[in-house]
Amino acid sequence: MRWNLRMVAAQRGIWKSTDLRRALGAAGLDISAGKMSNLWSGTPISVRLDDMDVICSVLGCTPDELLAPEEPAERAEVTPAPKSAASESGPAIRPTRRHSRQRSVPPA
């Protein structure tokens, strides 16, 4: 998920984190400068639902505007395993690259 707080705030004419912090404070949500910086400039690890509710009411948005799905990272190419007598009797296990170690993929 991608955190879009900065974009949503800019669409509503709020260009500085301090302005949003003041608006949130007026709505009853006191956020520390460090937490506001994390919300504004990065992707927070977690956001409380109560905080999300106040943010959405101040910005006049919904949570789906603040959280947008990301494109999945391109996966490593999977090469089919060579056929053998053992593979004809059961499902083929296709190796894939993951963290530089060989792992098998579950059967389709």
Reduced to 3 states (helix: H, G, I; strand: E, B; else coil), residue 74 is coil
Name which of 9-13, 66-70, 79-83 the model is least confident about. 79-83
Q: Domain residues of the chain, as ranges?
A: 2-68, 73-108
**With pLDDT > 70 as the criterion, what percentage of the chain qualifies?**
69
Q: What is the DSSP string of 14-52?
A: --SHHHHHHHHHHTT----HHHHHHHHHS--S---HHHH
Cβ count within 10 A of residue 64: 10
Residue 51 has pLDDT above 80, yes or no: yes
Taking only the tens place, the pLDDT of each residue in 1-47 is: 889 999 999 999 999 999 999 999 999 999 999 999 999 998 888 99
Q: Closest Cα to residue 43, out of 96, 7, 71? A: 7
pLDDT of residue 4: 92
For residue 102, the model assigns a pLDDT of 66
pLDDT at residue 74 in the model: 46
Fold (topology level) of 2-68: 434 Repressor (Amino-terminal Domain) (1.10.260)
